């Protein structure tokens, strides 16, 4: 089925999603605020800021009118950071039709409310929602390298529609009903990626990063299960898959930001050098504060130490030492309980 697609947000990922839909024959309208960027897309078929060397599909055009964009597509993709979602939703709520499918791509949790992006959307729109997540750097998608993601929705038919609309020989989409787990995985992996970047910035090696990824996955699954996600989801694309790529890739903003912190830059300096939204910074604050307000029977040591490094000016080397010297633990408590291990 070929249709009309709206992409709200002309950043790197918004552009990559537009290219995916357009290459499948859909007519795509991208909303961008910058008039120069709009002109470049419409007149030169390029996103001059993010992909100046890559020609965009002729099925893509741009607008700087949010009303036009929000009423255009049968599918409306929100490709803006979590902290921008409310501003956009407030502006478009009066224009969106009931039958439009909303696709959420942001990977974070709101700092003040601890709401996931799909929950924020629900406050403004009574539309079917799909969460798109997984290991998907925009650069590699634009280069046509094989990529696999997950489309999560409470509505199976809606998830499958997005799946069919985006699938190609270069872009594979799986479906999942666990919208909570998919969103939490996508948010937590950015925190762990900052930790992995700090490790790189400090000059640590593969052993350290492997430990961070593995223990980060365990931390992610604990938080995710506490928030209502399914444990197996965190072994999937939006959990382990996205965690691996974000912790290891040169294209990862969160990892690269962490490298700057590990090298001794301040929070403000590191953010300025990256020059784009680093979702993991806000997610660190959100999940740390969420945890502090609860009464949980598990710990979140990596998130806690990253919070202290970013917001309490804790020395990164000291944070690593404190992580390593925590009191002895079982690796996986559930395994110990299942085996009734007697010490």
Active site residue ranges = 189
32-65 CB burial, b ≥16 within 10 A, e <16:
beeeebbebbeeeebbeebbeebebbebbbbbbe
Task: Please check whether residue 176 is in contact with residue 151, taking contact to mean a CB–CB distance below 8 angstroms.
Answer: yes
For residues 190 and 109, the answer to whether their CB atoms sit within 8 Å is no
Cα–Cα distances in angstroms (integers) from residue 152 to residues 18, 130, 147, 174, 238, in the given order = 19, 5, 17, 8, 10
Collapse the DSSP code of 172 into the 3-class scheme (helix H, G, I; strand E, B; otherwise coil) and give the result. strand
Residue burial 190-207, b: 16+ Cβ < 10 Å; e: rest: bbbbbbbbbbbbbebeee
Pairing of strands 27-31, 4-8: parallel
Question: End-to-end distance of the chain based on CA atoms, in angstroms?
Answer: 61
């Amino acid at each position: 089925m070929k249709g009309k697609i709206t992409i709200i947000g002309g950043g790197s990922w918004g552009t990559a999603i537009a290219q995916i839909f357009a290459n499948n024959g859909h007519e795509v309208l991208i909303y961008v605020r910058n008039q120069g960027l709009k002109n470049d897309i419409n007149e030169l078929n390029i996103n001059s800021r993010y992909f100046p060397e890559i020609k965009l599909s002729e099925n893509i055009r741009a607008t700087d009118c949010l009303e036009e964009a929000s009423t255009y597509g049968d599918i409306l993709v929100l490709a803006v950071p979590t902290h921008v979602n409310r501003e956009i939703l407030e502006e478009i709520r009066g224009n969106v039709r009931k039958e439009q499918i909303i696709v959420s791509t942001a990977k974070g949790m709101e700092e003040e409310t601890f709401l996931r992006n799909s929950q924020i959307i629900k406050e403004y729109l009574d539309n079917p929602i799909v969460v798109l997540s997984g290991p998907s750097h925009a650069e590699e998608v634009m280069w046509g390298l094989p990529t696999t993601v997950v489309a999560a929705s409470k509505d199976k038919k809606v998830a499958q529609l997005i799946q069919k609309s985006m699938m190609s020989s270069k872009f594979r989409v799986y479906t999942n009903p666990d919208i909570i787990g998919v969103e939490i995985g996508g948010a937590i992996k950015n925190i762990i990626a900052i930790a992995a970047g700090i490790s790189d910035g400090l000059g640590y090696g593969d052993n350290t990063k492997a430990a961070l990824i593995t223990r980060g996955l365990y931390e992610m699954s604990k938080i995710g299960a506490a928030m209502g996600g399914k444990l197996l989801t965190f072994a999937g694309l939006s959990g382990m898959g996205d965690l691996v790529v974000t912790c290891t890739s040169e294209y990862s903003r969160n990892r690269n930001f962490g490298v700057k912190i590990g090298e001794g830059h301040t929070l403000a300096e590191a953010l300025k050098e990256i020059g784009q939204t680093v979702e993991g910074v806000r997610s660190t604050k959100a999940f740390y504060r969420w945890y502090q307000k609860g009464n949980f029977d598990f710990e979140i040591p990596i998130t806690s130490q990253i919070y202290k490094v970013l917001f309490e000016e804790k020395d990164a080397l000291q944070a690593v030492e404190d992580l390593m010297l925590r009191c002895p633990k079982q690796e996986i408590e559930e395994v110990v309980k299942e085996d009734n291990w007697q010490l």
